[in-house]
Structure 1
Amino acid sequence: MTYSLQLFDDIITNPLKDGVLVIQLNRPNEFNALRTKLLDEIAQVLVRAEEDENVRCVVLTGNQKAFAAGADIKEMATKSPADVLRDPRAASWKVIRNFKKPLIAAVNGYCLGGGNELAMHCDIIVAGENAKFGQPEINLGIIPGAGGTQRFTSLLGKSKAMRYVLTGDFMSAKQAYEAGLVAEIFAPEETLDQAINIAKKIAQKAPIAVELAKEAVLKASDSLLESGLAFERKAFAVLFSTSDQKEGADAFINKRPPVYKGS
């Protein structure tokens, strides 16, 4: 399969080389905000990559300013709880979550909200020194809705996860490394190349052993993940029935401080 011949709107797929496929998020004017189309395009490529025995490892990256600064707030602002529960993006997240081959995130700049959730879906995260991680959904009157509460807690522990989920504060690359979220830190201009080097090393290993090793490591932390994800998704949808959610989205779009009333 020649992935580079496939044209997408929101991502760029680089030519397969040494068993490594690089997917670049490509909405630079929106800091790679994760709209439905972008997630769907990632899922399409991963479905094909899983079937292609020539693909041994996939690297997911953004640009120097942002891996992904979050979900597309304008796309989500007016959704109802029913819309959120029926959101087609859930199917894309499931494809990413169940991808059997190694997935590496090369992160520079902002990696927030859905962007941080996307990075945490990956098996390894490497970051540039300029990277900033976080789950700032609380600032919009909602909570993470694609695994943020569950994976952040699994990776950071309860106290640190609470610290960042409840405040919406950002975490530096150094803090993310010390917390165990990030595997390695590099100069921003080296981040993608270093991620590809790791991917090439993995691509040289026995494919079945790599697949089973990934599954075994995930089993160590995923035993109760599905029930936690189900609760998070329902809570996320319920919040779209509150006036505070509408206020948070409107304030973000219009660049003003939100005024929450607890309703």
Structure 2
Amino acid sequence: MPEITGVPVVTVSDGLAEIVLDAPHKLNSLDIDDLTALRAAVADIASRAASGEVRSLLLRGEGRGFCAGRDVSGTDPDKDDATSYLDLLGHVLGELSDLPVPTFAAVQGACLGVGLGLAIACDVIYLAENAKIGSPFADLGATLDSGGHAFFLARLGRHRTLDLIYSGELISGTQAVTEGLFSRAVPAEELQEFTHAAAAKAATGPTQAFLESKRLLDAVAEEHLSPGEALARESAAQIRLSRTPDYAEGFRSFQEKRRPVFTGKVSS
């Protein structure tokens, strides 16, 4: 793989890829060069996923925070090229969301702006109980971005979303789970091990079945499928899966009363 320069550090082991935001001195905030390097890292993971080498992804940040957002240190607001940054960010978030494998984010400390966008582009987000999530953009004369409006509105409703935006309140990981934003918060000292274990387990699972579920959920949300239409899509997905090696292995292992050994392959 080509060397990735900038903030992201990429490793792959036993089907599990890790992208680590490794600039703890600035809470892993991202300037445009960092974001460019992150896009290259995601593209590399996508290529490895297509070949079957990668079957799960863990995205995490080193240090006290996951990602405090855009790195604007040294930026002249009168000369800021926000268009280029936001265009690139849109590509990164879309390509991360489209990865054909389960993706996990381990979120500790600050998760703001771009950081929030990166987290919600993943399939599963686990948070430290003391993580900080919110929209502190009012102090910058800016608005919530990185997909935050749709994400917050779908889970919190209009009034609570605007309350968080207007107030700039940062909520903890525990509160975010209580309010229905995310599924699980764990003690900060357990976060990395907990999320790594979940991502590693997914890397040994039925990759094609997981991909079908990602596609089905996207279709239900984006195409507003009726229950009957969703059922028909599920049936078609199940038929496709019935032709994969992992489907046969799942049946055999059940009949033989042993744990399945999945390969993630589309065909034999």
TM-score class, shorter: 0.7 to 0.9
TM-score, normalised via structure 1 length: 0.75
Q: 1:168-199 deviations in whole A, cap 9, x for unaligned?
A: 11011111111222222222122111111111
Comparing 67-76 with 21-30, greater Cα deviation is found at: 67-76
Gaps of at least 5 residues in structure 2 are: 225-268
**Which of 40, 46, 64 lines up with 1:44 in the alignment?**
40
Structure 1 residues 207-246: aligned runs within 5 Å: 207-223=207-223
User: Match of 2:178?
Assistant: 178
* Native 8 Å contact 1:112 1:133 kept in 2: yes
Deviation at 1:149, TM superposition (A): 1.2
Residues 141, 106 of structure 1: CA spacing in aligned structure 2 closer, same or farther, 3 A cutoff?
same
Q: Aligned equivalents of 1:209 and 1:37: distance in 2? A: 36
Deviation at 1:7, TM superposition (A): 4.1
Deviation at 1:39, TM superposition (A): 2.0
Q: 1:77-131 deviations in whole A, cap 9, x for unaligned?
A: 52668x3334352333332233332221101111112211211111111011221
Q: Aligned equivalents of 1:43 and 1:217: distance in 2? A: 24
Amino acid of the structure 1 residue aligned with 2:82? V
User: Match of 2:17?
Assistant: 21
Q: Aligned equivalents of 2:178 and 2:193: distance in 1? A: 22
Structure 1 residues 22-171: aligned runs within 5 Å: 22-52=18-48, 53-74=52-73, 77-78=76-77, 83-87=81-85, 88-89=87-88, 90-171=90-171
Report how many aligned residue pairs link the two structures.
Answer: 219
Q: Aligned equivalents of 2:219 and 2:20: distance in 1? A: 28
* Native 8 Å contact 1:39 1:93 kept in 2: no
Paired residue secondary structure (1:73): coil
Paired residue secondary structure (1:162): helix
The structure number with the bigger radius of gyration is 2
Q: Aligned equivalents of 2:44 and 2:18: distance in 1? A: 13
User: Match of 1:6?
Assistant: 3
Gaps of at least 5 residues in structure 1 are: 225-263
Amino acid of the structure 2 residue aligned with 1:205? G
Paired residue secondary structure (2:43): helix
* Native 8 Å contact 1:114 1:144 kept in 2: no
Q: Aligned equivalents of 2:150 and 2:38: distance in 1? A: 22
* Native 8 Å contact 1:19 1:57 kept in 2: yes
Amino acid of the structure 2 residue aligned with 1:167? S
Paired residue secondary structure (1:74): coil
Q: Aligned equivalents of 1:99 and 1:166: distance in 2? A: 34
